[in-house]
Amino acid sequence: MTKSLPTLWKGPIPCVIESRHPYERDIRQMLENISNNTNLYFTRGDKKKLDETKTPYIIWVYKGFEGGNSASNCGMKADKPTVIKQLHNYRILHEMMHALGFAHEHQRPDRDKFIDITSDPAKLKMFKLYPAKTTHNEKFPFTINTSTIYWSDQKNSSEDFWYMRLKNNKSKTWNCRETLSSEDIHRLKTLYPTKYKNKPSSGKEWFSLTEFEKIAEKLEDLF
């Protein structure tokens, strides 16, 4: 558990996507969405050179791992990469928000003022509160309108239970967001206010989808 505020990135953020990553296109679309709506600027990194110079960067990996998605750390770590294990094509934005410095909204220190948490001991671990003043989330009002909060309920073939309920609206339910919310955009712009003069225009970044990829995506949606 972090004991101090996560370190924010300085300047353009180098990014590396593991070769033949099955969700490369989804990751690139997520980067484009953030780039188009915030001041953040992502550059294509050369892993070998970044490692040689001990330059921090974000890398998405897939091979050789099992389990769920995860980010190796919250925010930037000096002299080492932030590794995102993207093993499924969901919660891509969620893990990226961790890499950019945000903790889980449902674990922020003042959470209990706004939501009730399940009393099931087996599920309480992932709701353990962070110490006060150790998350950037605390700089903003609590919200469920963010990609950093888990879903309110779990429903599958073997279990059906609730995780969280708003204190002022017990019937409200929500899912883990897959797209940037207005609150996510506001938070990212606040933490990263610098605008870069050399930032490419929308659609011309290295991660932008080609016309062929856009057509392929539309065809996939049809079938």
Contact 118, 77 (CB under 8 A): no
Tell me the pLDDT tens digit for each residue of 154-163: 765 556 678 8
Whether residue 2 is predicted with pLDDT greater than 60 in this model: the reply is: no
β-bridge pairing 58-61 and 82-85: parallel
Mean pLDDT of 137-154: 95
Task: Calculate ∠ Cα 209-21-45, nearest 5°.
Answer: 70
Kindly state the helix (H) or strand (E) to which residue 85 belongs, with its residue range. strand 82-85
Cα–Cα distance for residue pair 97/149, rounded to 1 Å: 11
Rounded alpha-carbon distances, angstroms, from residue 198 to 40, 73, 201? 12, 28, 9
Instruction: Compute the chain's Rg from CA coordinates.
Output: 18
> pTM of the entire structure?
0.90
For residue 3, give both structure tokens: 């004991």
Query: Helix, strand, or coil here: 123?
Result: helix
Neighbouring residues of 146: CB distance < 8 A, sequence distance ≥ 6: 97, 105, 177, 181, 183, 184, 187
Q: End-to-end distance of the chain based on CA atoms, in angstroms?
A: 44
Contact 194, 40 (CB under 8 A): no
pLDDT at residue 158, rounded to an integer: 57
Query: Of the CATH numbers 3.40.630.10, 3.40.390.10, 3.30.1370.10, 3.40.50.300, which one belongs to the domain with range 13-222?
Result: 3.40.390.10
For residue 123, give both structure tokens: 């599920």
pLDDT at residue 137, rounded to an integer: 98
Domain range annotation of the chain: 13-222
pLDDT at residue 1, rounded to an integer: 46
Contact 32, 42 (CB under 8 A): no
Mean pLDDT of 147-167: 82
Tell me the pLDDT tens digit for each residue of 93-143: 999 999 999 999 999 999 999 999 988 777 788 899 999 999 999 999 999
pLDDT at residue 156, rounded to an integer: 58
